[in-house]
Amino acid sequence: MKCIIVEDEIHAAEHLQYMLSKLSHHIEVVKVLNSIKSTVSFLLQQQVDLIFMDVQLADGNSFAIFDNIEITTPVIFTTSYDNFALQAFKLNSIAYLLKPIDEKELKQALDKYEMLTHQYQYYNDLGRSLHPYQKKFLLEQGNQIIVLNDTAIAYIGLINKHVFITNTNGQQYLFNSTLDKLEHRLNPELFFRINRQFIINKQAISEMINETRGRVKIITCPPSKEEMVVSIERAPDFKSWIRM
């Protein structure tokens, strides 16, 4: 399980890492971030399984992170303040731990995460077995209603917190959904989510360029105005998928 710690107090971050290493050998802290800006930048490029997040950061209240990007990853808040609990649970928080963090409470939070993960996987697998992948999408453009086949989708992007579907002719449509929901409705043989911002159709890829640290830059046809880079986390799976 890969996680990040969002914490601007060095000693608090180190202590949390130590506690996590004691509780489980399966937890890997891939990054410690200390600000809203660095966290948003990281999460736009990479995905993790769990986020530990302090409320008060070097550059402001961490709830601002949720205003900048879509976060569906479970969050365990770690803070010295109890007056943010209600606001935290309006987000995708699974636990709210007060500092100094109690090891027993931390273990309970991790156990809760494991339980929720298993439940989600079970119902997700069940849903996929009962409902085939979506082949047609109903889109609106002004007064027009357009039916778009999945094979006519070039890529789907999250831009300014709105989801847009771009077809193979370069036409772009606003779509009322989230990338997470769409990711599970699309045929995985045809579509792949390269990062937190884009899902691409294999048939729309015109060029692939190796970048630093194993990342891959994607050029699509029609081309995207936004840069498409396969995140470090997803690069190995992407390379396996592209060979299918």
Distance CA 162, CA 120 (A): 25
Predicted local confidence at residue 19, as pLDDT: 95
Sign for the CA dihedral angle at 187, 189, 190, 196 comes to: positive
What span, in angstroms and rounded, lies between the C-alpha atoms of 101 and 78? 8
Q: Which domains does the chain have, with CATH numbers?
A: 2-129 (3.40.50.2300), 136-242 (2.40.50.1020)
**Cα–Cα dist 145/184, whole Å:** 24
Q: What is the pTM of this model?
A: 0.57
Give mean pLDDT, residues 165-183: 91
User: For residue 230, what pLDDT band results from cuts at 50, 70 and 90?
Assistant: very high
Q: What is the pLDDT of residues 17-38, one digit of tens each?
A: 999 999 987 899 999 999 999 9
Euclidean distance between CA atoms 244 and 240, whole angstroms: 7
Q: Is the dihedral of CA 108, 114, 40, 173 positive or negative?
A: negative
Does the pLDDT at position 196 exceed 80? yes
Instruction: Give me the pLDDT at residue 240, please.
Output: 87
* Mean pLDDT, the chain, whole residue set: 88
- Of 225, 23, 200, the C-alpha closest to 216 is 200
